Amino acid sequence: MPEKGAVSFGRREPGFAERLVRSIHAGGPISLAHYIAQVNSHYYGTRNPLGAGGDFITAPEISQMFGELTGLCLADVWHRTGMREPPCYVELGPGRGTLAADALRAMQQARLAPLAHFVETSPALRAHQSAAVAHAKFHDDVDTLPTDRPLLVVANEFFDALPIAQAIRTEDGWREVMVGLGEGGALAPLTGERRVDARVPQGLRDAAPGSIHESCVVGATIMMTLARRIARQGGVMIAIDYGYEGPALGDTLQAVRAHTYADVFADPGENDLTAHVDFTLLGNAARQEGLGVHGPVGQGAFLERLGIGARARTLASAQPERAEEIEAARHRLVAPDAMGSLFKVLAVTHPDWPAPEGFA
């Protein structure tokens, strides 16, 4: 029942997509980065997108082995430092909390029990994460993470969902890619008027007209912030994502819905928007703060070096009825024709900390 005195005139509140179109119609085109930020904020804030019934599935949802080995990798680095005060386990964009639950369980078996801190803004996902890791503390951004102890940070498929800017090469130099209204009032990419040549690495500026260069300032900023913290407090960060070693040209922006590709500009707020991660950019951001950088290496090689084969055999021996399922999950995580090569792993460490296993 509405409150006493409330009056309804039967007006329909416009949905997210309609509000976005109206704002562009009134104010003009917006940058692609602004578009992605708005769309993904609405998308992740209003649903649980993971799993068979969602839009995509991540490595931790495929098998417990992924989270367990990641946790053991972090625990091993911690023990090799010789430190005794418990660090913090930090995860950026923890999904449903599956990776954290598996990693923390494995870390506890390795005699390390850190408190969990999740950087997550989605109320819908926070509910799932609380159910998976009851003691987790939540943060809207990395700025409020603890400052009094080392940080063991995991970012799995986090950087790919951050907003990217695109520049397109025209006959008159590089221009910003914008989002405006195209034919019939539908959202569409447009070439902006502003020159952005300085944003493109010198070696790529003479590319052919139509070439696309992508940059992720938000990702570099987050990495530098965390690197600064790790340099002061001690710690290690493992970033796992699909991506490349830049600088490079190409349009990698994509939309996914119900496990299939969708139109980036159709049904805004209903599709997951992602772009490939430039691991060189992330590594250089960490180097600027004096951190050690390891990798990137393929996810398959990383997991094989950590012992996923042995772990799969142990699980299959304990649950023979699941042996085929466990082997299929292992193959999906490590095979070059699945996630093994496309997904890459980067680690950054305090200059006095040892290199994590999995990178040699």
Residue 156: name the closest of 49, 238, 47 by CA. 238
Task: Check if the beta carbon of residue 291 is closer than 8 Å to that of residue 350.
Answer: yes
Question: What's the pLDDT band for 148 if we cut at 50, 70, 90?
Answer: very high
- The pLDDT tens digits for 214-234 are 999 999 999 999 999 999 999
The residue ranking higher by pLDDT, 303 or 360, is 303
The amino acid at 303: L
pTM greater than 0.95 (yes/no): no
Task: Check if the beta carbon of residue 88 is closer than 8 Å to that of residue 150.
Answer: yes
User: For the residues 143-166, what does the mean pLDDT come to?
Assistant: 97
Phi then psi dihedrals of residue 293, to 5 deg: -120, 130
SS (H, E, C) 311-343: HHHHHHHHCHHHHHHHHHHHHHHHCCCCCCCCE
The contacts found for 24-30 with CB under 8 angstroms, 24 or more apart, are: 24/179, 24/180, 24/181, 24/187, 25/181, 25/185, 28/180, 29/178, 29/179, 29/180, 29/181, 29/190, 29/192, 30/178, 30/179, 30/180
Phi then psi dihedrals of residue 354, to 5 deg: -70, 160
Phi then psi dihedrals of residue 231, to 5 deg: -65, -35
Q: Which two tokens stand for residue 326?
A: 């466990």
Query: DSSP string covering 188-205, please?
Result: EEEEEEEE-GGGS-GGGT
pLDDT of res. 183: 86
- The pLDDT tens digits for 253-291 are 999 999 999 999 999 999 999 999 999 999 999 999 999
Burial label for 103, CB within 10 Å (0-12, 13-18, 19+), is buried
- The pLDDT tens digits for 45-82 are 998 898 878 888 999 999 999 999 999 999 999 999 98
pLDDT of res. 260: 95
pLDDT of res. 8: 37
What percent of the chain is modeled with pLDDT above 90? 90
Residue 242: name the closest of 284, 295, 282, 299 by CA. 299
